[in-house]
Amino acid sequence: MTMTDTPQAAPKTVDRSAMKVSDEVAISIENMNKWYGAFHVLRDIDLTVYKGERIVVCGPSGSGKSTLIRCINALEEHQKGRIEVDGTVLSSDLKNIDRIRSEVGMVFQHFNLFPHLTILENCTLAPIWVRKTPKREAEQDAMQFLEKVKIPDQANKYPGQLSGGQQQRVAIARSLCMRPKIMLFDEPTSALDPEMIKEVLDTMIELAEEGMTMICVTHEMGFARQVANRVIFMDQGQIVEQNEPEEFFNHPKSDRTKLFLSQILGH
Amino acid sequence: MSDTHAQSAAFVRESFIPQSPPPARERGILKWGRENLFSNWFYTLLTLVSLYVVFSLLSGFLPWLFSGVWNAGSLSECREILQGVDAGCFAVLTERWNQLLFGFSYPTEAYWRPTLAFILLFVCAAPVLFSGLPRKLLILTLLYPFAAYWLLWGGTIVVPLMALLGVVLGYVAFGATVSRGFATALVAALVVAGIVWWVGIAVAGAVPDFVALMPVPSRDMGGFMLNMMLGTVCVSLSLPFGILLALGRQSRLPIIKIACVAFIEFIRGVPLITLLFVANVVLAYFLPPGTNFDLILRVIIMITMFASAYIAEVIRGGLAALPRGQYEAADALGLDYGQAMRLIILPQALKISIPGIVNVAVGLFKDTTLVSIISMFDVVGMIRGPILASTDWNGVYWELYGAAALLFFVVCYTISQYSQWLERKLATDHR
């Protein structure tokens, strides 16, 4: 890793001035249920996300938080209930699903970059094939986003040559190249070395500062406190508690939340 | 710092030691030999025994090879020239070389045609094999099958031209209707191509001498040329069919899935030789009487089916080796099924499958000699039949089969080296 792409060591101060929650609905989930075979993994989920919201979803493993955000872009199918993303109701129609997916960016725990393509090709692939952007324009665009995540000098390398933190930042840039209206983060820092978590979180903070609508499944409670406007706690496939971060962390209402918080913040 | 030793703590180097070579016994061939051949008494013994075995094999083989006779009219002439010396009678190769390459009934004055087709094969396959070449050269690859057909079988040029026109117009029709769905476009393409081909048959029948080469019927094809034809055609056809079968096997649509699984399992459960007998004999019973369905075409269909089933399973392994996340990332970016497969999944799955695919390709190429059993005169068929059965050369086994083995070895080793080069070139994961 070169010196230029190492983020500053000092904790980033979050500028909340541009983070505005509008009245427009970005995602609405009504009475959504999902089963894996006989296992009832999501139960009666009701959630409305407004444009500009930064929502952190936390909870013990197996509580259904990843499954919840994977239902939003139809990586998982829900069996009951209604999901509406950016005005489009999610149905089993493939064109419908592809349209929603091109509007919703997703960042995975294990980056899932395409190892046979260079960093630049990873970023331009979807704009060129899905959005039909001309190649040159897509490349210029991609370079802008790679600069934003501070790795333009790696554009012609392959994912395997980058560190975990760099790969995850590329994954974020790759999603941004589609100019998504909503970003979903599925434990983006869980597979990273402690040193690299910060560079990824800083990128996510910058994104939030620009007013991106975000739903993050994460265990980074510092990030939740600083950036989120709403924290959702899930257990056994249900939303147990949701609140503003201050209230959520300082005065949790349910006993299950208190137990969870005491365990992850206890040491 | 009071607890450090005075003599170990302070030290300043005044002169630097220049780099020097390692001791002689630690260098080059001496080191290698000592470590690999003579590292203890048992290895030394094995080395000496092996050297003796290699020596006795070569001392028998090399004189046989180098004092062999290359010019004689028959085996008895060979024996006269050799006068009891134990050496090869390679004159059979010189005399029957053209038969080994082209079979015994391909017209002699047309030997340049398969030779030209063979040379063009390398030129036209290069754009596919080496991605560094300009992509426009792929048009040569597209034209090659039609040109090669015309060169090998001869007849009027109308036949390959109309066949090409059918493919091109079918592609145009596909492009024009693809917005209405893949199935509609496929049907449109097939209908258009079918009409052009039907017209083409009529036209070719009307003007059989228009820019015509001397026609050569399929039963006159033979020798190593036949092996190369079957090998090239079947390998290049079975790869796309294998990919389709592998994807079909993963399909969510039960009909497609069941059809693909049934096909693969049936074909893999039947010996190739049985399929060839079916092509040769049994198929005739199912076709309407009077239809003359070309034997080479029947054999190509059977070998292709056989190879596609194996390649499908190899590619299925490659698909299964890809992490689930690659499919999800492709989906999450909004790529549709075709794009995800073409751009993300297949390039990686095929790369993983290269050793397996090459394995099938090499095996398939060698299996083309099985056609000698259904009385086609490929290189092995030529040796077993016309050459060894002739009074002149009855009994020249080693020289003939050795030459056939060498021909196959050269081709298979080339394929294998190419595939290893390709694997190295495609290795981008830096693991």
Where are the alpha helices (H) located in chain A, listed in sequence order?
65-72, 94-103, 119-129, 135-148, 164-176, 194-209, 221-227, 245-250, 255-265
- Residue A98 — pLDDT band, cuts 50, 70, 90? confident
B232 and B279 in a common domain: yes
Residue where a domain terminates, one of B15, B50, B67: B67
B110-116: Cβ within 8 A, 24+ apart:
B110/B154, B110/B213, B110/B214, B110/B216, B113/B151, B113/B152, B113/B154, B113/B213, B114/B151, B114/B152, B114/B225, B116/B151
Strands B155-156 and A238-243: unpaired
Does the distance separating the beta carbons of B429 and A73 come in below 8 Å? no
State the pLDDT at residue B26.
Answer: 74
B321 and B394 in a common domain: yes
Tell me whether residue B370 is in a domain: yes
Mean pLDDT, chain B, whole residue set:
87
Q: Which is more confidently placed, B290 or A5?
A: B290
Tell me whether residue B372 is in a domain: yes
State the pLDDT at residue B155.
Answer: 83
State the pLDDT at residue B262.
Answer: 95
State the pLDDT at residue B108.
Answer: 87
B282 and B189 in a common domain: no
Task: Tell me the C-alpha distance between A159 and A116, whole Å.
Answer: 8
Does the distance separating the beta carbons of A158 and B428 come in below 8 Å? yes
B417 and B286 in a common domain: yes
B245 and B204 in a common domain: no
B259 and B403 in a common domain: yes
B290 and B173 in a common domain: no
State the pLDDT at residue A9.
Answer: 45
Smallest CA-to-CA distance from B226 within B212, B237, B216 is with B216
B388 and B334 in a common domain: yes
Tell me whether residue B325 is in a domain: yes
Q: Which domain holds residue B60?
A: 32-67
Q: Which is more confidently placed, A16 or B252?
A: B252
Q: Which of B6-15, B40-49, B70-79 comes out lowest in average pLDDT? A: B6-15
pLDDT tens sequence across B375-396: 888 889 888 888 888 888 888 8
Dihedrals phi, psi of B222, to nearest 5 degrees: -170, -170
Chain A residues touching B328 at Cβ < 8 A: 75, 108, 112
User: Token pair for residue B417?
Assistant: 């080296």
- Kindly report the pTM of this predicted structure: 0.83
- Residue B214 — pLDDT band, cuts 50, 70, 90? confident
State the pLDDT at residue B85.
Answer: 80
DSSP state of A59: -
Tell me whether residue B260 is in a domain: yes
Task: Tell me the C-alpha distance between A174 and B408, whole Å.
Answer: 48
B321 and B185 in a common domain: no
- Average pLDDT of B173-201? 85
Tell me whether residue B3 is in a domain: no
pLDDT tens sequence across B278-316: 888 877 777 776 666 788 888 898 999 999 999 999 999
B390 and B291 in a common domain: yes
CATH value at residue B254: 1.10.3720.10
- Paired with A36 in beta bridges are A39
pLDDT of B362 > 90? The answer is yes
DSSP state of B107: -
Please tell me which residue of chain B has the smallest CA distance to A179: B333
Domain count, chain B: 3
- Is A231 within 8 Å of A250 (Cβ atoms)? no
- Average pLDDT of B38-62? 91
Residue where a domain terminates, one of B198, B213, B228: B213
B273 and B344 in a common domain: yes
> Which residues in A110-148 are b (16+ Cβ under 10 Å) and which e?
bbbbbbbbbbbbbbbbbbbbbeebeeeebbebbbebbeb
Amino acid sitting at position A47 = L
Residue where a domain terminates, one of B213, B231, B259: B213
Q: What is the ipTM of this complex?
A: 0.88
- Is B150 within 8 Å of B160 (Cβ atoms)? yes
Tell me whether residue B138 is in a domain: no
DSSP state of B340: I
pLDDT of A267 > 60? The answer is no
pLDDT tens sequence across A115-147: 999 999 999 999 999 999 999 999 999 999 999
B269 and B252 in a common domain: yes
State the pLDDT at residue A8.
Answer: 42
Beta carbons within 10 angstroms of residue A250's beta carbon = 11
State the pLDDT at residue A214.
Answer: 94
pLDDT of A3 > 60? The answer is no
B323 Cα to chain A: minimum distance (Å): 9
State the pLDDT at residue B266.
Answer: 94
Tell me whether residue B50 is in a domain: yes
- Is B392 within 8 Å of B101 (Cβ atoms)? no
Interaxial angle between packed helices A164-176 and A119-129, expressed in degrees from 0 to 180 and rounded to the nearest 10: 20
Please tell me which residue of chain A has the smallest CA distance to B429: A160
State the pLDDT at residue A6.
Answer: 42
Q: Which of A76-90, A206-220, B136-150, B196-210 comes out lowest in average pLDDT? A: B196-210
State the pLDDT at residue B3.
Answer: 64
> Which residues in B56-90 are b (16+ Cβ under 10 Å) and which e?
eeeeeeeeeeeebbeebebbeebeeebeeeebbbb
- Residue A72 — pLDDT band, cuts 50, 70, 90? very high
Nearest residue, CB atoms, B428 vs list A94, A116, A130: A116
